[in-house]
């Protein structure tokens, strides 16, 4: 059964604009780092890290471009999706009464997740660069648990907010 949801044009809050701008700056930093370090990169660089954060996959210098390009693609996808919160999948019924709150909450979730994912890829990218230049041994053993905690914590926070504004059952 398809429900007819209201389509609202929501203005971005100051905090959403700041988070978005910060996300863009970090994303641009990926490409600035490529320009800075490209000449110093060895011909073979680490491209994958195991659970303990040690390099276990290797590739050519050109593979350094995979992470920033993937980061850019995900950023664009989430930025576009955040403009259309009414098409999202919600565990609560969206009504005229709660649409503004639920859409704003969902959009902020996507904007915050976009920042977190861009930071994740930026950190992976830095780990690749520093590992290739023998300045570190990878992202470290705490990287994956911390990242998962942040992503699932953010999702839980916004889900709780969504359910707290759940409309009464009629």
Q: What is the model's pLDDT at position 110?
A: 93
- Cα–Cα distance between 6 and 103 in angstroms, integer? 10
pTM: 0.84
Indicate the domain borders of the chain: 14-164
- Cα–Cα distance between 161 and 146 in angstroms, integer? 22
Cβ count within 10 A of residue 153: 11
- Cα–Cα distance between 130 and 138 in angstroms, integer? 8
pLDDT digits (tens, 9 = 90+) for 99-152: 888 889 999 999 999 999 999 999 988 888 888 888 777 787 888 889 999 999
Which carries the bigger pLDDT value, residue 20 or residue 93?
20
Q: What is the model's pLDDT at position 19?
A: 96
Provide CB contacts within 8 A for 5, sequence distance 6+.
Answer: 86, 94, 99
């Amino acid at each position: 059964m398809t429900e007819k949801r209201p389509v609202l044009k929501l203005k971005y809050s100051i905090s959403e604009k700041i988070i978005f701008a910060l996300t863009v700056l970090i994303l641009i930093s990926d490409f600035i780092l490529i320009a800075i370090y490209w000449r110093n990169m060895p011909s073979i660089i680490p491209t994958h890290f195991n659970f303990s954060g040690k390099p276990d996959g290797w590739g050519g210098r050109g593979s350094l471009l995979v992470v920033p390009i993937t980061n850019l693609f995900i950023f664009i996808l989430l930025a576009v999706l955040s403009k259309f919160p009414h098409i999202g999948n919600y565990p609560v019924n969206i009504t005229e009464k709660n649409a503004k709150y639920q859409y704003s909450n969902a959009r902020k979730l996507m904007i915050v997740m976009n920042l977190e994912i861009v930071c994740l890829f930026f950190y992976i990218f830095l780990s690749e660069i520093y590992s290739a230049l023998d300045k570190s041994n990878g992202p470290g053993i705490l990287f994956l648990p911390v990242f998962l905690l942040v992503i699932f914590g953010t999702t839980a926070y916004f889900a709780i907010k969504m359910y707290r504004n759940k409309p009464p059952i009629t």
